[in-house]
Structure 1
Amino acid sequence: MTTISRRSALTPRHLTRTGERLSFVYLERCTVHRDANAITAEDAAGTTHIPSATIGTLLLGPGTRITHQAMSVLGETGAAVCWVGEHGVRYYAGGRALSRSAALMEAQAHQWANPRRRLAVARAMYRLRFPDEDPAGLSRHELLGREGRRVKDCYKAQAARTGITWRGRNYTPGDFTSGDAVNQAVTAAAQCMYGVAHAVVASLGCSPALGFVHSGHELSFVLDIADLYKTEIGIPLAFDVAADDDQDVGPRTRRALRDRINETSLLDRCVDDVKRLLLADPASATAPGAEQDVVTLQSDGGHDVAAGRNYGGPDEETTW
């Protein structure tokens, strides 16, 4: 007997930590509704209940319909929602997740606004991806060149390990089946990682658009974060899936990646990496009071003052 309908409504202070959630849930050809604090996915086979507070990213594929009530509970519980194409390989739109503090967004903007600091973060990202190499002193062009060579080397190494014939990266946007099995698997893994990174970035209150390697796109920072784990997790797993069988590559890649993400606690690691890249003191983001609903007003000298008051005269008045 289910107990989902007996649960009381959640408040923002009862939200599940990002690192403790499922990485992503992909749904297609069903109707998504709400039952208390769960969402339900209904199709011809029946109805499945999914506790909304445990979802990192909900990927809505073709043939899905979602109700206002379902979106309401997903927003309350801080889940990211993305509308994607078949097999999850096209990103169409996304819903912003719940966040309370602007600390990480402000830190991100501070690092991004200065060219020297922005380059320093890009170098730190490279160091996270390839810890055996020191990128200190490298220009942006040099970083891009070295990253490109390392990714090519990763493809070749994985092809040799799995015995797959690798003819290079071949992907036609909007046509998932145009590539061979291993290219389909690489594409599916990449798109799922984008969804995971988007969930973490949004739930931490960062801007998806302010990237340090990628630029000019609304998801530039999401692409930056997803790429941190490309050569370690995404590409090797894609080759494993393609080597096992060349049928149903998309769904099998999603399931395998979901399991790998949960096995390696990647969400916790992703959260820590974002904080380490943006904050001088990453522990400050988890200090007591960091997640409180606090609104202040900016004053002179870098000081903040209490909101909800009128500062127009000697007698301060509460305005809320």
Structure 2
Amino acid sequence: MSTVGRRGAATPRELTRVGDRSSFLYLERCKVSRDNNAITATDADGVRHIPSATIGTLLLGPGTEVTHQAMTLLGDSGAGVVWVGERAVRYYAGGRALNRSSSLAEAQASAWANQQRRLGVARAMYRLRFPDEDPSSCTRQQLLGMEGRRLKECYRRESARTGVPWLRRDYDREDFAAGDAANQAVTAAAQCMYGVAHAVVAALGCSPALGFVHSGHELSFVMDVADLYKVEAAIPAAFDAAAEGPEDVAGRTRRALRDRIHATGLLERCVGDVQSLLGAAPGGTDRMTVQSDWGIRLESGRNHDDGNEW
């Protein structure tokens, strides 16, 4: 019988595209293991089998245990894995790229390393958020002001639509329950959006750390991408959940946001938006080369010595 270590890694052609996957799956108080090409979730109610290639992000809540074999399968499938603390206050993530090519990562690094191009990508991100405005001449400070006003208007609009009272964004990182129902729901929705964005970023082979609006954090680019859809998807789902009352508001928020992401095809849009923002063509090759002078790429796995003995 072959062991997990002897099984070959799946090729990109064998894997389900990230845009076609379920956005995220939340599990808590269970043991996550592996049965062939499915992960299993075992709790007091029995065993559930979940095909690994259909998962965009697996959110592991309190009381979960995960085996090495399950993580091997999830990594090979390109699924993001996020450990979520009690009531979604803490966030940790990891994953393996579905896109084995480095083309998008190189395009991201090239744009990030040039100050003007970095600002250009930031402006393009705001253009996605403000389709009726032209931010091409805005400074970074002006862009941040536009975003701040947009969020305040969104909170007021969703409060009026749902009848949920709203004073201001107020939450305690150390005490999730300290906030009112609306703030708890917004926090839970944000954590889920970070998980989804991280799954897309990792699946495309980009760096989570090289952000264009956010900076200095290991998930800067993840936050950039998640913010593109905050007003459209996360905040409305949060207020819908809060409108049903404070009981299990985080769980209802996750379910409402998951349904909204699926209904709007947001995962597929997210993939296209990231590729467009970085100015890279979809796909790319995962052929390994080595760098030479004048941009020439040489075949790897060869000795390129000119014949001199060492």
Q: Give the TM-score band, short-chain normalised.
A: over 0.9
Structure 1 gaps, min length 5 = 1-7, 316-320
| TM-score normalised per structure 1 | 0.90
For the structure 1 residues 249 and 236, does the alpha-carbon distance in structure 2 shift closer, same or farther, using more than 3 Å as the test? Answer: same
Q: State the alpha-carbon separation in 2 of the partners of residues 87 and 133 from structure 1.
A: 37
Q: Which residue of 2 aligns with 1:62?
A: 62
Of the candidates 265, 282, 294, which is equivalent to residue 287 of structure 2?
294
C-alpha distance in 2 between matches for 1:208 and 1:79:
15
Residues 141-160 of structure 1: pairs in structure 2 closer than 5 A: 141-160=141-160
Worse-superposed segment, 48-57 or 159-168: 159-168
Displacement of 1:61 in angstroms is: 1.0
Whether 2:285 is the aligned partner of 1:285: answer no
Per-residue CA deviation, residues 189-208 of structure 1 (Å, 9 max, x unaligned), is: 11000000000000000000
Q: How many residues align?
A: 301
CA distance in 2, matches of 1:303, 1:296: 10
8 Å contact 2:95–2:199 — kept in the other structure?
Answer: no
Partner of 2:111: 111
Question: Is the 8 Å Cα contact of residues 80 and 93 (structure 2) preserved in structure 1?
Answer: no
Q: Secondary structure at the match of 2:169?
A: coil
Q: CA RMSD in A?
A: 1.6
Counterpart CA distance in 2 for 1:97 and 1:88 is 24
SS in 2 for 1:275: helix
Q: Map of 1:127-166 to 2, 5 A cutoff?
A: 127-166=127-166
C-alpha change, 1:96 and 1:14, in structure 2 (3 Å) is closer
Tell me if structure 2 keeps the 8 A contact 1:18–1:200.
yes
Q: 1:218 to 1:96 in 2, by over 3 A?
A: farther
Name the structure 2 match of 1:318. none
- SS of the aligned residue for 2:48 comes to strand
Residues 44 and 38 (structure 1), Cα distance of their counterparts in 2 relative to 1, 3 Å cut? same
Is contact 1:88–1:191 with CA below 8 Å preserved after alignment?
yes
Mapping of residues 1-320 of structure 1, within 5 Å: 11-12=10-11, 13-279=13-279, 282=280, 284-286=281-283, 290=284, 292-314=285-307
Q: What is residue 3 of structure 2 aligned with on the other side?
A: none
Structure 1 residue 96: deviation in Å?
A: 4.0
Percent identity of paired positions between Structure 1 and Structure 2: 66
Following TM superposition, by how much is the alpha carbon of 1:255 offset from its aligned partner in structure 2, in angstroms? 0.7
TM-score by structure 2 length? 0.93
User: Residue in 2 aligned with 1:5?
Assistant: none
- Measure, in 2, the Cα distance between the counterparts of 1:148 and 1:313: 59
- Report the Cα offset of residue 87 of structure 1: 2.9
Q: Distance in 2 between matches of 1:232 and 1:133?
A: 17
1:255 is matched by which residue type in structure 2? R
Preserved CA contact (<8 Å) 2:21 2:55 = yes
Tell me if structure 2 keeps the 8 A contact 1:234–1:257.
Answer: yes
Residue 243 of structure 2 aligns to a residue whose secondary structure is: helix
- The Cα shift of 1:97 comes to 4.1
Partner amino acid for 1:199? A
Distance 1:79 1:93, change over 3 A: closer
Give me the whole-angstrom Cα distance separating, in 2, the residues matched to 1:89 and 1:14: 35
1:98 is displaced (CA, Å) by 4.6
Partner of 1:4: none
SS at match of 2:196: helix
Verify the 8 A CA contact 1:80 1:199 in the aligned structure 2: yes
